[in-house]
Homo-oligomer: A and B are copies of this chain.
């Protein structure tokens, strides 16, 4: 492994540390690697060493290149300085991607506490949008952010449909950055149909990093699930980003989108709510629905019809069609056929 420390901004004391691993040769199934860009916490007044190297190690083990950004803090943390530091770091990684063997479309940002605020800003406001963001006990809301840096923006307001997938973890009993920061972020991600995974562990105080005995003298003060976020985040990244195979990354098992509503063409992964506003699509779908109707009518007396219709709208067409296949005896090929038809229709 090579180590290189680069000064990005001497005046503001901003540095990027690069830990890069070899590819090919004995790693002949890997030609380039995904990367993590780590943003330590520290209340915008310092960058904690406890949330730097100890975080890099497990991702290095998982095969990632690891970068640590020590961004502008103290008097220099006036916004948008920290986000500018992030953009500069990403630009440099892209520039040296061939040398550092980095897959530039697979860079994941990881931030903790105030660094989680910066990572969440990267996820929502940056030019160099990361593939995904891992946010540890993050500062999210404007009220909380202002405690550490008066000029720091509210992240909730910036969540939109272009926000990247997020993995968010925190503890219920954190009384430095209250857990409502995390909950309200999840709420915003949900509203804007963004993919996420979230783990809120019951017990543990703020700032636990990877929560092993190398970073905390008192592991007993934390619920024993807390350290699980490390392995879980790596598995989550495999879910949505794929894994190493034959010199390039395998297709991921799952989509990084909640549904197909934002693809260039309509498809069976669109929600019924979305498709119901597309007359061309409904011409294809309605006849099938009539054919497979009759299901669920027994329950009709007891349920609220309007509420049920609302529920169906949440489903993707794929999910509804799978019922038609299972319960109404429709052909196994139905889903693929409908998908092919829908993919003729531009999504605009």
Q: B-contacting residues of A (Cβ < 8 Å)? A: 1-3, 19, 21-22, 25-30, 43-45, 48-50, 53-54, 56-58, 60-63, 74-75, 77, 143-144, 146-150, 165, 172-173, 175-176, 178-180, 183-184, 186-187, 190, 195-203, 205, 210, 212-217, 220, 223-225, 228, 232, 235-236, 238-240, 243-246, 253-254, 258-259, 271, 299, 301-304, 307-308, 310-311, 314-316, 319
Cβ–Cβ contact A225 & B214, under 8 A: no
Q: B22, B61, B210: which contacts A212 (Cβ < 8 A)?
A: B61
**Given A75-B301, A186-B183, A201-B197, A48:B61 Cβ within 8 A:** no
How far is B147's CA from A61's CA once the two chains are assembled, in angstroms?
A: 32
Residues of B contacting A214 with CB < 8 Å? Answer: 27, 30, 61-63, 244
**Given A3-B3, A199-B198, A205-B319, A53:B310 Cβ within 8 A:** no
Within the complex, what minimum Cβ distance (angstroms) separates A284 from chain B? 20
Cβ–Cβ contact A190 & B198, under 8 A: no
Within the complex, what minimum Cβ distance (angstroms) separates A220 from chain B? 7
26 intermolecular pairs with C-beta atoms under 8 Å apart: A1-B19, A26-B49, A29-B216, A43-B299, A58-B58, A58-B61, A61-B214, A62-B212, A63-B214, A75-B301, A143-B307, A149-B302, A172-B196, A175-B271, A176-B315, A183-B190, A184-B187, A186-B200, A196-B202, A197-B200, A197-B202, A199-B200, A202-B240, A213-B243, A217-B244, A225-B235
Cβ–Cβ contact A1 & B53, under 8 A: yes
Cβ–Cβ contact A187 & B180, under 8 A: yes
Cβ–Cβ contact A304 & B175, under 8 A: no
How far is B299's CA from A146's CA once the two chains are assembled, in angstroms?
A: 12
Cβ–Cβ contact B225 & A197, under 8 A: yes
Residues of B contacting A172 with CB < 8 Å? Answer: 195-197, 258
Residues of B contacting A216 with CB < 8 Å? Answer: 29
Q: B58, B149, B176, B200: which contacts A198 (Cβ < 8 A)?
A: B200
Within the complex, what minimum Cβ distance (angstroms) separates A251 from chain B? 14
Cβ–Cβ contact A310 & B50, under 8 A: no
Residues of B contacting A147 with CB < 8 Å? Answer: 303-304, 307-308, 310-311
How far is B183's CA from A45's CA once the two chains are assembled, in angstroms?
A: 32
Within the complex, what minimum Cβ distance (angstroms) separates A219 from chain B? 9
Cβ–Cβ contact A179 & B190, under 8 A: yes
Most buried by B among A22, A215, A245, A271: A215
Q: B3, B176, B183, B244: which contacts A1 (Cβ < 8 A)?
A: B3
Cβ–Cβ contact B187 & A183, under 8 A: yes
**Given A172-B258, A235-B224, A49:B62 Cβ within 8 A:** no
How far is B217's CA from A28's CA once the two chains are assembled, in angstroms?
A: 9
Give A165's nearest chain B residue, CB to CB: B202
Residues of B contacting A197 with CB < 8 Å? Answer: 172, 200-202, 223, 225
Within the complex, what minimum Cβ distance (angstroms) separates A99 from chain B? 17
Within the complex, what minimum Cβ distance (angstroms) separates A303 from chain B? 6
Q: B3, B25, B199, B203: which contacts A239 (Cβ < 8 A)?
A: B203
Cβ–Cβ contact B236 & A225, under 8 A: yes
